[in-house]
A and B are shown apart, each in its own frame.
Chain A
Amino acid sequence: MGQQAEAILHETEAHDAHHEMSFWDKYIFSVDHKIIGFQYMFTGLIMAAIGGYFAYAFRMQLAWPGEEVPFYGLVDAAKYNMLVTNHGTIMIFWVAMPVLIAAFGNWLIPLMIGCDDMVFPRLNRLSYQIFLVSALVLILSFFVTGGGFGGAWTSYPPLSAVAAYNLTNWGASLWLLAVFLEIVAFLLGGINFVTTTMNARAPGMGMMDIPIVVWMINIAVILFMASVGPLVAGAVMLFFDQRLGTSFFIPSGGGDPLLWEHLFWFFGHPEVYVVLLPTMGIVAEIITVFSRKKLFGYRTILYTAFGTGGLSFIVWAHHQFVAGIDPRMANVFVVTTILISIPIAEMLFSFIATLYGGSIEFSTPMLWALGFLVSFLIGGVTGIYLGASALDVYFHDSYFVIAHFHYTFFPITIIGMFAAITYWFPKMFGRMMDETLNKIHFWGTFIPFNGLFLPLFLVGMAGQHRRIADFTQYPDLASPDLQSIRIFATVSLVILLLFQFVFIYNFFNSMFKGKKAPLNPWKANTLEWTVSSPPPHGNFAELPTIYRGPYEYSVPGREEDYWPQHLAPNQ
């Protein structure tokens, strides 16, 4: 379609948008990608609150076992299992994915590639609606007879497949159904993202002019689509095992529980990169803007992302080193696992190299981005311990794994989310956030986060394994020293959670009462900063044409230290 036709169409569209829309059409059943992005974001934030509340309940139980937890009540064994299981499930499927991929993907992709909406707006809405139903089904599963599912987020059969083993007949099935629906929602959403990026880029925007965050979200979505298929088949099989009495995964009926482990981790490991890559992209955007530097090695970062994605498909069995797989296979997977550190290390090095020679401003988004680099580095290097099969014999399912895992996922999900929200807030709501409160929130989250998870490395080294409601019964683990480490971690968690109220207050206060934001408060290059804040339906008053890459900061010979993508060379 020619640009002229586009311009005509755009005019009629803009004209159509003038008629008044009811609240329902505008905010609930909207097909506008930005509103859908908000819907994902707020649902994700609410689910994050639930997940955090669960973490609070079971950490309190670990610190002061058997005592009534304030605002929760007594945590017994069944409740403890339910809490840890659903904490994990919620944080990965209902927080990390909707916020990082769906919310920011929806919000940013059309704006950053310079088009007026997703290519399939109604499919987009459907994807959110399915996602919402999945969240409701999950919440429903906490309240059915027998309680919520308590077989860990990996849900290994036969425990998850047989009600007599897990004692949560309906909880387990609803949990599985919720995960299934969530996957379907993201498959639909993902197809939309990829198609949009492939087909609807603004004129002039070549493959190497796409902002890294859009690239990363797309790679993540493709990884997700490719890895989740076998798990969808597996989920149907597991559901039949639960409800119809088949035995795909039950050995006495001829099935094999190891098959589920393979199906799950074939998805589960790429999933780590599915949530990692969007945050890497967000960080790339932020550090370039706040150090006024061109991204160091755009292509390198892109290729390492592809490399990581490809490699992530051949490392999955490192989750199963001691799960009864053939030990010879472990040698293959240990090589691939250690090798995956190479592209990721290269990517981190490139980010650090971007800072060289910069003019770094420590605003809150930049603090979050740097905080991400520091803490993800800890998460990354501790992964080497666990990828080493022989050492995994000791560390498998121990608190060392928990600490490592949270040192990767907390920076990815929570820090990445806050980095993105604080960075794009002016564009999303047209107002600035309060910088002082933001900084208080940053330090109040970052320090307790380390106070929470660093001690867990120590208890992990002491041989404490995960998913246990009360360690004081274990003679070797009951020592007061270890218990005081646990208490320290719990206190850190409580402090961390309390500081989130600062954010909530700041978020809503700034949303309604904050200082009006200028069009481009950070002086960034990418296209979303050229539209009014908040952007109207249809985004661009005039659809842009692209003349250069997204990271042309501090170009020699230019007075301004930034050079937006849409400005023609003579401007």
Chain B
Amino acid sequence: MSEAHAHPNYIKIWFWLLILLAISVAGPMLEIPWVTVVTAFGIAAVKTFMVAAKFMHLQFEKKIIWYLLIICVTFLGVFYFGVAADIMNSSGQQWKDCIADNTCIEQRL
């Protein structure tokens, strides 16, 4: 059993999470792209932080777990940006995606 620590008020956090959920559903209904992105991902990030810090007790956890999680996210970011140049574009230096503009030779499948 873990060492005792003060338990935060879980119901209150749950209540805040539900409000955030409502915002993230309502946000996109305005159909403004930047609002959608902010409400969808910004709020996902906030919710994640709340769940991790309060429900998962990261607040009270040793620093090493924080480092561990931060390293994970950093490496994922490295992966994303290393790959983005090739996969997130449909053309680049000396290459282009030829399926999109129908200039490809017919594919066997």
- Residue A252 is within 8 A (CB to CB) of chain B in the complex: yes
**B95 contacts A326, C-beta separation under 8 Å:** yes
B68-109 contacts to A (CB < 8 Å): 71-72, 75-76, 78-79, 82-83, 85-87, 89, 92-95, 99, 107-109
Q: For chains A and B in complex, what number of residue pairs have CB atoms within 8 angstroms?
A: 57
| A314/B109 contact (C-beta < 8 A), A324-B95, A326-B93, A326-B95 known | no
User: Please, how many angstroms separate the alpha-carbon atoms of A325 and B109 in the complex?
Assistant: 23
- Residue A230 is within 8 A (CB to CB) of chain B in the complex: yes
User: Please, how many angstroms separate the alpha-carbon atoms of A314 and B81 in the complex?
Assistant: 10
Q: Which of B76, B83, B93 contacts A327 (CB 8 A)?
A: B93
Please give, as numbers and ranges, the residues of chain B lying within 8 Å of A158 by CB-CB distance.
Answer: 109
Mask of A28-60 contacts with B, CB within 8 angstroms, 1/0: 000000000000000000000000000000000
**Given known contacts A256-B87, A326-B92, what 8 new A-B pairs fall within 8 Å (CB)?**
A164-B109, A256-B86, A262-B79, A266-B83, A316-B82, A317-B82, A326-B94, A327-B93
**A and B contact pairs by CB, cutoff 8 A, 22 listed:** A164-B109, A227-B75, A230-B79, A250-B109, A251-B99, A252-B99, A256-B86, A258-B86, A258-B87, A262-B82, A262-B83, A262-B86, A262-B87, A317-B82, A325-B85, A325-B86, A326-B93, A326-B95, A327-B93, A328-B85, A329-B82, A329-B86
Please give, as numbers and ranges, the residues of chain A lying within 8 Å of B108 by CB-CB distance.
Answer: 164-165
Which chain A residue has the least Cβ–Cβ distance from B79? A266
Judged by DSSP, the binding face of B is: helix
User: Please, how many angstroms separate the alpha-carbon atoms of A256 and B89 in the complex?
Assistant: 11
User: Please, how many angstroms separate the alpha-carbon atoms of A165 and B109 in the complex?
Assistant: 10
Give me the interface of B with A, judged by CB distance under 8 Å.
Answer: 71-72, 75-76, 78-79, 82-83, 85-87, 89, 92-95, 99, 107-109
Q: Which of A313, A328, A329 contacts B78 (CB 8 A)?
A: A313
Q: Which of A226, A251, A256, A259 contacts B75 (CB 8 A)?
A: A226
CB distance from A270 to the nearest CB of B (A): 10
**B93 contacts A328, C-beta separation under 8 Å:** yes
Which chain B residue has the least Cβ–Cβ distance from A317? B82
- Residue A178 is within 8 A (CB to CB) of chain B in the complex: no
User: Please, how many angstroms separate the alpha-carbon atoms of A131 and B71 in the complex?
Assistant: 28
A208-231 contacts to B (CB < 8 Å): 226-227, 230
Judged by DSSP, the binding face of A is: helix
| A259/B93 contact (C-beta < 8 A), A252-B107, A252-B109 known | no
**B95 contacts A226, C-beta separation under 8 Å:** no
- Residue A162 is within 8 A (CB to CB) of chain B in the complex: yes
User: Please, how many angstroms separate the alpha-carbon atoms of A262 and B87 in the complex?
Assistant: 9
Please give, as numbers and ranges, the residues of chain B lying within 8 Å of A252 by CB-CB distance.
Answer: 99, 107, 109
User: Please, how many angstroms separate the alpha-carbon atoms of A266 and B82 in the complex?
Assistant: 9
Which chain A residue has the least Cβ–Cβ distance from B91? A326
CB distance from B105 to the nearest CB of A (A): 11
Please give, as numbers and ranges, the residues of chain A lying within 8 Å of B76 by CB-CB distance.
Answer: 230
User: Please, how many angstroms separate the alpha-carbon atoms of A250 and B109 in the complex?
Assistant: 9
Chain A contact patch, size range: 20 to 34
Please give, as numbers and ranges, the residues of chain A lying within 8 Å of B89 by CB-CB distance.
Answer: 326
Please give, as numbers and ranges, the residues of chain A lying within 8 Å of B72 by CB-CB distance.
Answer: 226
| A329/B85 contact (C-beta < 8 A), A226-B75, A251-B107, A266-B79 known | yes
Please give, as numbers and ranges, the residues of chain B lying within 8 Å of A258 by CB-CB distance.
Answer: 86-87
**A259 contacts B83, C-beta separation under 8 Å:** yes
Mask of A265-291 contacts with B, CB within 8 angstroms, 1/0: 010000000000000000000000000
Please give, as numbers and ranges, the residues of chain A lying within 8 Å of B86 by CB-CB distance.
Answer: 256, 258, 262, 324-326, 329
| A313/B75 contact (C-beta < 8 A), A262-B83, A326-B93 known | yes
CB distance from A262 to the nearest CB of B (A): 4
User: Please, how many angstroms separate the alpha-carbon atoms of A230 and B107 in the complex?
Assistant: 28
Please give, as numbers and ranges, the residues of chain B lying within 8 Å of A251 by CB-CB distance.
Answer: 99, 107
Please give, as numbers and ranges, the residues of chain A lying within 8 Å of B71 by CB-CB distance.
Answer: 226
User: Please, how many angstroms separate the alpha-carbon atoms of A252 and B106 in the complex?
Assistant: 9
Please give, as numbers and ranges, the residues of chain B lying within 8 Å of A329 by CB-CB distance.
Answer: 82, 85-86
User: Please, how many angstroms separate the alpha-carbon atoms of A328 and B92 in the complex?
Assistant: 9
Mask of A242-271 contacts with B, CB within 8 angstroms, 1/0: 000000001110101011001000100000
3 closest pairs, A vs B, by CB?
A: A326-B92, A252-B107, A262-B83
CB distance from B69 to the nearest CB of A (A): 12
CB distance from A390 to the nearest CB of B (A): 15
CB distance from A379 to the nearest CB of B (A): 25
User: Please, how many angstroms separate the alpha-carbon atoms of A227 and B75 in the complex?
Assistant: 8
**A314 contacts B95, C-beta separation under 8 Å:** no
Please give, as numbers and ranges, the residues of chain B lying within 8 Å of A262 by CB-CB distance.
Answer: 79, 82-83, 86-87
Please give, as numbers and ranges, the residues of chain B lying within 8 Å of A250 by CB-CB distance.
Answer: 109
Please give, as numbers and ranges, the residues of chain A lying within 8 Å of B79 by CB-CB distance.
Answer: 230, 262, 266
User: Please, how many angstroms separate the alpha-carbon atoms of A326 and B94 in the complex?
Assistant: 7
Please give, as numbers and ranges, the residues of chain A lying within 8 Å of B99 by CB-CB distance.
Answer: 251-252, 254
Which chain B residue has the least Cβ–Cβ distance from A316? B82
Please give, as numbers and ranges, the residues of chain A lying within 8 Å of B107 by CB-CB distance.
Answer: 251-252
User: Please, how many angstroms separate the alpha-carbon atoms of A256 and B98 in the complex?
Assistant: 12
Mask of A301-322 contacts with B, CB within 8 angstroms, 1/0: 0000000000001101100000
Please give, as numbers and ranges, the residues of chain A lying within 8 Å of B83 by CB-CB distance.
Answer: 259, 262, 266
CB distance from B73 to the nearest CB of A (A): 11
Please give, as numbers and ranges, the residues of chain A lying within 8 Å of B87 by CB-CB distance.
Answer: 256, 258-259, 262
Which chain B residue has the least Cβ–Cβ distance from A164? B109
Q: Which of A227, A251, A324, A326 has the most CB of B within 10 A?
A: A326
Please give, as numbers and ranges, the residues of chain B lying within 8 Å of A230 by CB-CB distance.
Answer: 76, 79
Q: Which of B71, B75, B89 has the most CB of A within 10 A?
A: B75
Please give, as numbers and ranges, the residues of chain A lying within 8 Å of B78 by CB-CB distance.
Answer: 313-314
